[in-house]
């Protein structure tokens, strides 16, 4: 059975998979304890990028090496190195290259919700259209890997092409779109594990030729799962919009997604309350069919504001344009999205 000193001596020579320096150089060995009677070793390490596929590979290698040397069980935890340590040892090319593949980074805005069915994707496509109508160059990443719907909502019938080893996103109504739906045949179910999902999301940034963009919107899966965690890891400057319905219970669930954003230092731009009311065409009165107050309650809990409230109605029917979820510019909800987009531009471009 290894002693504590022997375990530390072994770990000192282990290399951080991102900084390519030993844990001794980075100070990445945080805790080591050995229980000889149980042949158990407990370790806490700090590396450049925890919660990644590379961390999992490193974990497997360390555990296997220790077990080959008489250890029965290993408890291994990871944390992130301090920013100053990462900056000190980070390779120069990694410092200079952004997640966006070296291009000038746009404003990243993630659209999140606590649960499905509240209109998160509807908000994504219409916010993108509103920003485009205000003269901005906009892209959408349909990061809802299991529930991709953006292509159908925008009436996209094309598929991306590959040019010079780069994926060219589909452009629809002036907005560039990439989605997992483009790479799945016959609407097949996706059965992937976390690290594979993270790699796909990274590919949507680095392997897609986005060109020049002012805004890139990410339609996140509902809740706080792997993709949401990857976004927080990959895009530390990403802002968020939280979508809810007026029902207080929906707002309570949505608060989880908002709290995750706050814990990872992602600024919340505001709350969008979807399906706020139904306006009768006969009487002109507003009927609050899904309750009231959810958006305000959520905004209060997250210490932010309600960006806008959307009525419960379909876009106008158009014979010449098939985009079933896009509200026209003169539609009441289209006007509401215009106001919300203008607020976002004013907030982000005045910073």
Supply φ then ψ for residue 163, to 5 degrees: -135, 120
284 marked ligand binding residue: no
* Residue partners of 82: CB distance under 8 A and separation at least 6: 46
- Judge whether 80 and 233 are in contact, CB under 8 Å: no
Q: Is 121 annotated as a binding residue?
A: yes
Pairing of the two strands 170-172 and 175-179: antiparallel
> Has 270 been labeled as part of a binding site?
no
Query: 3-class SS at 31?
Result: strand
Rounded to 5°, angle at Cα 173 from 240 and 332: 65
According to the annotation, is 114 in a ligand binding site? yes
d(CA 280, CA 213): 40
Q: Is residue 115 annotated as involved in ligand binding?
A: yes
Residues in the chain: 351
119 known member of a binding site: yes
CA distance 113 to 105: 24
Report the 10 Å Cβ neighbour count for 209: 16
Q: Is 223 annotated as a binding residue?
A: no
Is 123 part of any known ligand binding site?
A: no
In sign, the C-alpha dihedral spanning 298, 302, 306, 312 is negative
Binding site, residues?
Answer: 114-121
Binding site for ATP, residues?
Answer: 114-121
């Amino acid at each position: 059975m290894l002693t504590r000193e022997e375990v530390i001596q072994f770990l000192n020579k282990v290399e951080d998979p991102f900084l390519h320096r030993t844990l001794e150089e980075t100070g990445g060995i945080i805790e080591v304890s050995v229980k000889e009677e149980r042949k158990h070793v407990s370790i806490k390490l700090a590396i450049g990028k925890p919660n990644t596929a590379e961390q999992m590979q490193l974990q497997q290698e360390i555990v296997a090496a220790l077990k080959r040397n008489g250890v029965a069980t290993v408890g291994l935890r990871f944390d992130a190195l301090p920013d100053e340590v990462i900056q000190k040892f980070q390779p120069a090319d990694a410092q200079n290259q952004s997640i966006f593949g070296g291009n000038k980074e746009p404003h990243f805005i993630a659209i999140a919700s606590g649960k499905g069915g509240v209109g998160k994707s509807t908000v994504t496509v219409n916010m993108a259209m509103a920003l485009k109508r205000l003269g901005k160059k906009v892209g959408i990443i349909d990061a809802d890997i299991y529930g991709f719907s953006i292509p159908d909502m925008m009436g996209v019938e094309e598929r991306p092409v590959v040019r010079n080893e780069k994926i060219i996103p589909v452009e629809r109504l002036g907005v560039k779109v990439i989605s997992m739906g483009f790479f799945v045949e016959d609407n097949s179910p996706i059965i992937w594990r976390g690290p594979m999902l993270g790699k796909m999301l990274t590919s949507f940034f680095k392997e897609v030729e986005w060109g020049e963009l002012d805004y890139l919107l990410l339609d996140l899966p509902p809740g706080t799962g792997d993709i949401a965690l990857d976004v927080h890891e990959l895009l530390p400057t990403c802002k968020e919009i939280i979508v809810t319905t007026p029902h207080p219970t929906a707002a309570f669930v949505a608060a989880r997604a908002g709290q995750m954003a706050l814990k990872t230092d992602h600024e919340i731009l505001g709350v969008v309350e979807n399906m706020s009311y139904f306006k009768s065409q006969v009487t002109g009165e507003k009927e609050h069919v899904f309750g009231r107050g959810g958006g305000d309650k959520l905004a209060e809990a997250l210490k932010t504001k309600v960006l806008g409230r959307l009525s419960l109605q379909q876009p106008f029917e158009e014979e010449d344009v098939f985009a079933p979820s896009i509200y026209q510019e003169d539609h009441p909800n289209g006007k509401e999205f215009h106001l919300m987009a203008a607020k976002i531009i004013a907030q982000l471009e005045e910073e």
